[in-house]
Every structure is written in C-alpha cells, then in structure tokens.
A and B are shown apart, each in its own frame.
Chain A
Amino acid sequence: MYSYRIKKDGQPLSQQVKEAFEVELTNDLLPATNGAVIGVALNDKVLFDSLEKQFNEKPHVNPPKTPVLHIKTDNTHIGYGDTVRIPTNMGTVFSGPSLGIVIGKQACRVSEKEALNHIQGYTIVNEVSLEETSFYRPAVKAKCRDTFCPIGPWVLDKEHVGNAQNLTISTYVNDVLCHTTNTNQMVHSIEQVVAYISSFITLEVGDLIIAGTPLRTDNLAVKDGDVVMIDIENIGRLVNPVAAE
C-alpha cells in the first residue's frame, strides 16, 4: 500500500492506493508523514570513517558511543514538489538523501527483534543542511531552516519494499546522477535505531526516523534554480526544486 497526504478543501487528507501510478504527482502533496521527525546523525559508514581522526581529537576525544540524534522541526517539513528555500549568504547547502523509517505502531522500549513489527513502511527524505564543519552543537541553525526537510512522495508498506537494509539511493541534480549510496552503509541498522530510540522516547504512529545521511561532498551541493531528485530503489522518487530564500 502507498500512503500519501494531500490537502483537500484546506484540510490534510490521508489517502491509500495499491499502485504507485495511482498517485497524482502533480498534486501538491503534503509531507508523507505528520509526526515527529528524528534524524540519526553520523549513521553512514563512509561519513563516520571520514571523521575518525576528528573524533579522537579535542574537543571530542572519543567517538560517539551511542547513535547521535537530532530533530527536524515541523517548519522544515515539505512535500513532493514543494520548493526548498535556501539562504544565499550562509555557505553551501547540501542535500541529505536518506531512507525514512515510518512508525506504524506505538514503540516504547521495543527490542531489536520486535522493532520491525512497529514499522509501517518507508519513505524518502531529503535532510537538507547547511555545511557543518564540526559535529559540535548546535545543529539547529544548519538543519532547522524552513523547508529543509522534504518527505515523500508516499510511505510504502514494508512488505513491498523488500530488504530495506539493501536499497540503492541515487541523487540527481537537474537530471544528472551525482551521488549514489546504499542503505547497507548504515552504522546502526534499522532495527537497532528503532530499538535504541524507543528505549527512552515513545515513538508514536506516524513518527519518522531519518535513517542516516551520507558524507556531504560537493556532489550533493544544491543552489538556486536546481531541481533535486532522490531515488530509492523499490520505493520511488522525491523531487523538489531549489530556490533562493
């Protein structure tokens, strides 16, 4: 089942269809979910390895022991086709292609073994961010700007996704393939992430976890006038234009 959200008579409306082609992508789709959005930072092996030296130096001294989480506030969430508005005087802005894990059943202290039972399905997230020169606080300024988190176009039930831990994620800017990664690059697996977060945060139906974004290289940089498309194997494509604020 593909679940998506549209605005009808000014009100958000959830819809479900069996086939992707039944979703009208020219509609102004709303973000595919409407719960809390929690990101798992440093959850990509290439990114993590690239920071190894930095982790062992001051001020960090040690690599993080547990998944590092951050929040993408409501003002960042936009739907398929909506415009990502970027500042032009604050440095480079990067796309953050990621699998989105959508909670389907309240999760409070679930084990890794049980974790999948609490997942409804998966979506595509573009966790847009200003450049972060260090993983020192605060992330708010880089990550929580209005429109910095496209989510969609839909949530695909997990049964139809196949092995979610082995999906190719391709990012296109203006139809040119510029970056490829795979969900097998996660440092902490989908089950581990859900279990860890639920050990102290009760996850509600509709909450979304951004599984992990890759190392931001110039290949993922976006600028005014670009169109960014993130394709996740078996799930679909999330397309958003980019314009100056």
Chain B
Amino acid sequence: MKRAKILHNEQTLNVTVNKAGQVITAEGSVLEEGSFTWLPPCEGKAFVLAINYADHAAELSFKAPDEPLVFLKSSNTLIGHDQKTYQPDNIDYMHYECELVVVIGKEAKNVSLEEAMDYVGGYTVGNDYAIRDYLENYYRPNLRVKSRDTCTPIGPYIIDAAEIPDPHNLTIRTFINGELKQEGSTKDLIFNVPYLVSYLSNIMTLTPGDMIFTGTPEGLAHVYPGDEVIVEVEGVGVLKNTIISETEYLNSLAN
C-alpha cells in the first residue's frame, strides 16, 4: 500500500496511490494529475542523520562517527512532491541530499535491535537540501542550513514496510535536469535502520509518523534556480522538485 496526503479543493485528503501511480481518494475516485497538490506524507519528529555513509564522510573530510550524529528538522521545512524549493540569494553551495526516510508505524520506547523493525511502518524518499555557506561546522547543523522554509521535499508517498523486504539493499540516485549526479546504495549505511530506531527509542518515545532521514551517500553537486532535481530510492519512490530564486519565492508569498 502507498499512502499519501494531498491538497484538493483546499482540503487535506489522505489518499492511496495505485500500481499505475494514480491517486485514489477514500471514496475510490481517481484524481487527475494537476488537480491537486502533493503534501508531505507524514507529520512527526524529523530526525536526520549526518554522515551516515562512509564515502560521504570521506567526501566531507570527516572520519566516520562511532555514534549516530542525529539532528532535528522543524516542520516548516517539509514540502511535498513536485513543489518548489527556493535558493537564498548570494550563496554558492546549495547541495541536494537524496535519502531513504524511515517512517515510524507504532509507538516505540526502549526498543531492542531485534524488535526494532516491528516499529517501522513504511518508507519514503527525502531530499535534505543544505545551504553549506551557512554551515558553522561545530555549532551543530544549524537550522539555517537545514530547516529553512521549503528546504526539505519528502514523498511522494509512504510505502508500507512489508513491501520493502530489505531496506539495506536499495539504490539511491539523484538526477539534475535528467543527468545522473549521485548514486549509492543503502547497503553502505554506517548505522542501519534497526540500529537507528533502537538508538532513538532509547533516548525518547517515538510516535507514528516520526521520520528518520537516514543520510546520503557521496556525490554532492550544486543546484541553481531553474534546475529540476529528482531523487529516487529504488522500490520506494521518485521525488521531483524544482529550484527557484529567492525573488521568485518572495513573489509567490506576496500572491
């Protein structure tokens, strides 16, 4: 089952997506592409793993961490599939980050490694844009880098965990304007899905809808206004997003 949230006639609807990729309402009608807006498919705490692929750690000249480096995103930053992310003026380093996102399915507190997968409800795709110009490296991944309005596309839908028998063998790809820029595999995760669920649940209670962005492999590149960015996790989904300038964004707010 693929579950999504959309905005249709100014109402938020929970819908499903069928094998043909069509959006089906709770009443069973098929909605035409273009007649609705995709929303983030889940609401909850958004955890993000920094440096969870060894190759990405090397790319950033970091040594691989011995404990998960987790930070949080605030909900303002999440946007749905096929939406626009604005690039602030006068910056040089805006990078996409294609990530497998784990969605918690039931309340989890002090869960063991062995039980952890029982608490995974599904998966989706995330694009964790970073404005690296603003990175004050050792003062935590500042919210200005990672939690900006429109900076985190997620979706299009949540696919049930049962449909992804092995989340640790999925190809991850990013395309800018159709050109392949990033490719990796979730088999290279430093801390895998059960480890992350167990680790976080031992710090705090996880609740349904909480998201764990599992990190990105190497292959960073800059993006520019006008770029169409597609991030894809094999079997999970394809998430498209367009970069716009700050001026364009401010104009959209004014309207």
Compute the total of residue contacts between A and B using a CB distance below 8 Å.
99
Contact indicator A108/B138 (Cβ below 8 Å):
no
Q: How large is the interface on B (under 10, 10 to 19, 20 to 34, 35 or more residues)?
A: 20 to 34
Out of B142, B147, B205, B253, name the residue touching A68 (CB < 8 Å): B142
CB pair B143–A38 under 8 Å, yes or no, is yes
- A73 to B43, alpha carbons, bound, how many Å? 12
**Prevailing SS type, chain A contact patch:** loop
* Cβ-closest chain A residue relative to B143: A69
- Once the chains bind, are B50 and A137 in contact (CB under 8 Å)? yes
Q: With A66-B144, A200-B143 in contact, is A138–B69 under 8 Å at CB? A: yes
Using C-beta atoms within 8 Å of the partner chain, give the interface range for chain A.
35 or more
* Contact residues in A for B138 (Cβ distance below 8 Å): 59-61, 135-137
Residue of A nearest to B77 (CB): A201
1/0 per residue B46-71: CB within 8 Å of A? 01001000000000000000001111
Kindly list chain B residues whose C-beta atoms are within 8 Å of the C-beta of A69.
Answer: 142-144, 147
Closest to A61 in B: B138
The 3 A-B pairs of least Cβ separation, nearest first, read A137-B140, A71-B72, A200-B148
**What residues make up the interface of B, taking CB atoms closer than 8 Å to A?**
45, 47, 50, 68-77, 88, 109, 134, 136-144, 147-149, 203-205, 207, 253
A contact residues vs B (CB 8 Å cutoff): 36, 38, 41-42, 59-62, 64-66, 68-71, 73-76, 108, 135-141, 144-146, 197, 200-202, 204
A-B contact pairs, 20 of them (CB 8 A): A38-B74, A38-B143, A41-B139, A64-B139, A66-B142, A66-B144, A75-B45, A75-B207, A108-B253, A135-B139, A137-B50, A137-B71, A138-B68, A138-B69, A139-B71, A140-B203, A141-B203, A200-B143, A200-B147, A200-B148
